[in-house]
Amino acid sequence: MTNVSMLTNGNNIDAGDLIASLSDELPGSDRLLGGFDQVWALAPETVNKQFASMRQHGLLPRAVQVGDLDEAGLLIGGEGVDRAVLATPGISFDTGAPRMARLSLTFNSGNMSFYNGFGNRTSILKQSIAGWKIAFNVKVQLLPVAMQDLLNGAAPAAPGTINRIGRFDEAHFRLQAAVLDFEQSDLMHPDAAHTDLATDNSFLANNFANFIGAWLKGLAGPGNPFVLGYAVTRKTHAADILEGLLPCGANLAACGTLNFLQVSGERKIAHEPRLYSGTAGHFNPPPPVAEGAAGKLIVSRETFFKRFLKPLLVDPIQRRLTALPDYLHARRDQEGELDLDETVNEKSGAAATLDNGARAAFVPNAHGWSYRDHVLLHWREGNRHLHDRESEQDLQFSVSVSSQPDAQGVSRLTVDLYSSLMRYEWDRMNQRVAPFMRKTYMGKGWARTTMHWSMRLQFVPAPNGGIAVTVGGKRAPAATDSGVVGMYVVSDALAHLLNMNKITNDWEGNHAGFAALQGSVMVELGAAATAMFGQAAGQLVLPAGPQLCYRGIQLNEDGNIELDLVHEER
């Protein structure tokens, strides 16, 4: 089994850590796809295109022959001009039932033969069925298929599909086929609203419907040619984050689109009733499919944020921030003891005190995560002049997910990172004055600097039909201001109170800085994104013709990740 892991340089997280991370609360995480982690919504035109390709490959019947003149007194099809030739079958998913599709069969030519009257075996009449159309509402099911059956031709698939599925090891993956389940469907009663039989003879019309229904029943079971797609799911424990994102369970629904419903991680559909109920995956309204698209893949916000962004982006940055020195201890070896009443230690995601060693953590918000480590130190230095001193540092970091236009103005899934550092120094000078040595205010000086940078990651379609991540950003020059009041006389308060060289070097050179993240974490995230969406595309395999690839990716109005699907270019 391929063990794909993009987690290097100390960023490796095992599956146990991954599952533990799912307990974190994420605002908006209730906006799920009916509980599924991802949904493939295929337009009916896509399935019809597959039927056309399957017909070209000889996987779908081109003609019908059913009945027997001697035994049943009626025969549909035959030899020569009697051959009942089918057009490419058509399918739609707008029956209103969550597990039902409408199959339409249209005849290009052929005859229905029958005896002229009861007991008369000498005269045979023929009724042309050219242009006749009959439709049945048929159940759709996801049924297990042995990969070996596919490889040896016992299950219908084009050579390209067989090669694609043949890459999976049956010891680690299971294969299921989405099929029209003729065995469990009512094929005695056609869909009258979508059936057009060019005859006023009810006897012929009824018998034609019954015989075609019987012919479809005969296609049920192993080798059923009406396959809508193959779903590949993992059946072994996930060894790393990317394996954990592979689907491990699947269901099927039809609601305007053909919906392949998948769960990942270590979830089991059988353990969650909402995932196997009769209405599972029956979305109202159905997912809209963009014009010209084959369908769409929708990844739940929960899955993308918690199982991808958090372990591969937020957690690595968190570890780097935690490894930085805590500014609370910046004056531990300096003159003067801290005034504990005036000192402030605020850290996001932690109940920090002055002595419990708690560190700041990213906390989820409506758009992603935020981080803040705010420390204000207050102390007094004593000599001939008494100084009341304050030193403040406010380090902030945010990760925000949205859709933003790319350089061509096309909306793309976007992750914006923003980091800022504020340092402030304040020095109030007092002097003890005789005869009582009272402390007398002399003046004060202050200085402040603010630095920040931003980085934008955009998920964009790659030329090969996959997904790539572009990274851009900018670093703003340090903004400074300073001042003095009273008898606090220095030539340059900024230089006197702030060591800008050290602050700048620490800001630009730390392991959670712009350059460090851009050269490591962002590179690994981009590789992981390409791998994740690439492996996702490989888990849904069409029975014939070009497979699916990505055309666009964005954050939709529900907060889920939405990818437009198109067919691969040959």
Give the up-direction half-sphere exposure of residue 139: CA atoms within 13 A in the CB hemisphere: 13
CA dihedral 522, 523, 528, 531 (to 10 degrees): 140
Mean pLDDT on 236-257: 93
Using an 8 Å Cβ cutoff, are 332 and 325 in contact? Answer: no
Give the up-direction half-sphere exposure of residue 5: CA atoms within 13 A in the CB hemisphere: 15
How confident is the model over 406-421, as pLDDT tens digits?
Answer: 989 999 999 999 999 9
pLDDT greater than 50 at residue 570: yes
**Structure tokens belonging to residue 75:** 């025969």
pLDDT greater than 90 at residue 157: no
pLDDT of 288 reads 78
Burial class (CB in 10 A: 0-12, 13-18, 19+), 3: exposed
pLDDT of 546 reads 87
pLDDT greater than 50 at residue 22: no
- The lowest-confidence range among 128-132, 502-506, 566-570 is 566-570
Please name the residue that has the structure tokens 């229905």: 112
Query: Which phi and psi (to 5°) does residue 443 adopt?
Result: 160, 180
How confident is the model over 204-214, as pLDDT tens digits?
Answer: 999 999 999 99
Beta strands in 490-555 (DSSP E): 540-541, 548-555
pLDDT of 8 reads 29
| CA gap 394, 365 in Å, rounded | 19
| CA gap 187, 217 in Å, rounded | 8
Question: Which of residues 331 and 504 earns the better pLDDT score?
Answer: 504
How confident is the model over 422-437, as pLDDT tens digits?
Answer: 999 999 887 765 555 5
Confidence band for 6, pLDDT divided at 50, 70 and 90? very low
Share of the chain above pLDDT 70, in %: 90
How confident is the model over 66-114, as pLDDT tens digits?
Answer: 999 988 889 999 999 999 999 999 999 999 888 999 999 999 999 999 9
pLDDT of 380 reads 84
**Structure tokens belonging to residue 540:** 């849904």
CB-CB neighbours of 6 under 10 Å = 20
The b/e string for 301-337 (b: 16+ C-beta within 10 A; e otherwise) is bbbbbbbbbbbbbbbbbbebbeeeebbbeebeeeeee
**Average pLDDT over the chain, rounded to an integer:** 89
Using an 8 Å Cβ cutoff, are 127 and 114 in contact? Answer: yes
Name the pairing type of β-strands 227-234 and 467-475. unpaired
The DSSP output letter for 72 is H
pLDDT of 71 reads 87
Domains, the chain, ordered by start:
15-301 (3.15.10.40), 325-509 (no CATH)
| CA gap 197, 215 in Å, rounded | 17
pLDDT greater than 90 at residue 377: yes
